[in-house]
Amino acid sequence: MPKKRRNRGRNLKNSGHEKTVQCYKCHRLVPADKAIKVTVWTSPIQGSVAKDLEKKGAYVSKRLETRYYCISCAIFYGIVSPRKEEERKVRSPLQRPLTGRRTSSKVPLKFLKI
């Protein structure tokens, strides 16, 4: 039977057996390298109540919550979307946008080995 993906949909490179995590929506057990990881700031207080408290000058605490989604829930809830068929056929790696990186270094020529 042919494989659909070369990596079988996982990020398993020389790491052996990965631990399983539970999907946030459907509670399915998914390998950690296959799950979609989303980090969200959450507050224990509802939105409208929190806004009223902040207007009065109270501090409303928030915590960083890590949520894992299985592939089917991530696609269904719009967290990730499948690429177009033409883009899937391209074998080159996806290009990441350059953010915060310097594009040119200002090193004097006398320090460069030519």
Which residues span the domain enclosing 29?
Answer: 17-79
Give yes or no for residue 110 having a pLDDT over 60: no
- Classify residue 92: in a domain, yes or no: no
Number of domains in the chain: 1
62-84 pLDDT, tens digit per residue, is 999 999 999 999 999 999 998 88
CB atoms within 10 A of CB 35: 25
Altogether, the residues listed in the chain come to a count of 114
CATH number at residue 48: 3.30.1740.20
Residues 6 or more apart from 36 whose CB is under 8 A from it?
68, 69, 70, 71, 74, 79, 80
Whether 68 is in a domain gets the answer yes
Banded pLDDT at 103 (limits 50, 70, 90):
low
* 28 falls within a domain: yes
pLDDT, residue 13, reads: 80
Global confidence as pTM: 0.66
Residue 51 is assigned to a structural domain of this protein: yes
Higher pLDDT, 104 or 74: 74
Residue 84 in any domain: the answer is: no
Task: Encode pLDDT of 18-76 as tens digits.
Answer: 899 999 999 999 999 999 999 999 999 988 999 999 999 999 999 999 999 999 999 99
Confidence band of 87 (pLDDT split at 50, 70, 90): confident
Query: In this structure, is residue 101 part of a structural domain?
Result: no
